[in-house]
A and B are shown apart, each in its own frame.
Chain A
């Protein structure tokens, strides 16, 4: 437990940290050089969210994204993967939404799915983003860590270069 990772081998301007804070909770942190209202918009507006949730370095593609971001609202994401014929669906409900401050949602596609809490803390016009995934059990948390490792193996340095190049592309519309 308590494993922490704050390496800066990623491409971003600010480091991303990952920490297993307990048997069943994984926490990601990242500073974003923009106010909470802007960062929150990127998480709560489907047309923005779908531009970044699946990095271009990953083989899967986001096919559809429906989000009713309010307490009690539902979301549904569908992904395509070259290895699978059928799309994979991820869905759940928002347990709590405080615009610009906090979002809490379930991951109901799995019985062992985590509850995700994202907080947007104002740090003098910048945003400290904290993403917590709280699992129902230690085993479920272990499984998530293992699947994260699998996804990361698909990423190569060349693909990261492609991501960097794509990041300079202006948004459409």
Chain B
């Protein structure tokens, strides 16, 4: 029997199960934000917000970088890759639709040419 167990998937669901952590991702989607600013924004202690950020970081949703005394959080490679995949899928759908448009337009022009009339 096949076991569908993936530590990475478990970490993802756990990371996204918490409303504060989803809020952090939304905020980072708007702008990179320091730990201090995140704590203030969500009304939490520095220790509390660091725990949340740590969970998101381990799941690959967030990356952090410390410059001087400020630790800045941004969306992790995984989150960015997901959005890029969404955009590519959206493009793919539109490409299929516009391929069909192209065919209709070319047929229309061919028919008009055969009739020797202007559109």
Which A residues have a C-beta under 8 Å from some C-beta of B? 1, 3-7, 9-20, 23, 26, 28, 30, 32-35, 37-39, 41-43, 48, 51-58, 129, 131, 138, 144-146, 148-149, 151-153, 155, 160, 163-164, 166-168, 170-171
How far apart sit A148 and B94, CA to CA, in the bound complex (Å)? 9
Task: Please state if B108 and A171 are interface contacts (CB–CB under 8 Å).
Answer: yes
Contacts of B29 in A (CB 8 A): 1, 138
Report chain B residues within 8 Å CB of A148: 86, 89-90, 93
Q: Which residues of A sit under 8 angstroms from B92, Cβ to Cβ?
A: 9-10, 152, 155
Contacts of B89 in A (CB 8 A): 148-149, 151-153
Tell me the dominant secondary structure on chain A's binding face.
mixed
Give the interface SS of chain B, mostly helix, strand, loop or mixed.
Answer: helix
Chain B residue total in the interface (Cβ 8 A): 32
Are A3 and B95 touching (Cβ within 8 A)? no
Residue contact B97 to A53, C-beta cutoff 8 Å: yes
B85 at the A interface (CB under 8 A): yes
Binds A, one of B43-51, B65-73, B98-106: B98-106
B residues touching A (Cβ–Cβ < 8 Å)? 29-30, 80, 83-109, 111, 119
* Shortest Cβ distance from B106 into A: residue: A34
Residues of A within 8 A of B83 (CB): 3, 20, 145
Cβ–Cβ < 8 Å partners of A151 in chain B = 89, 93
* Complexed CA–CA distance, A152 and B7 (Å): 28
Q: Taking A32-B101, A37-B119, A41-B119 as contacts, is the C-beta distance between A18 and B87 under 8 angstroms?
A: yes
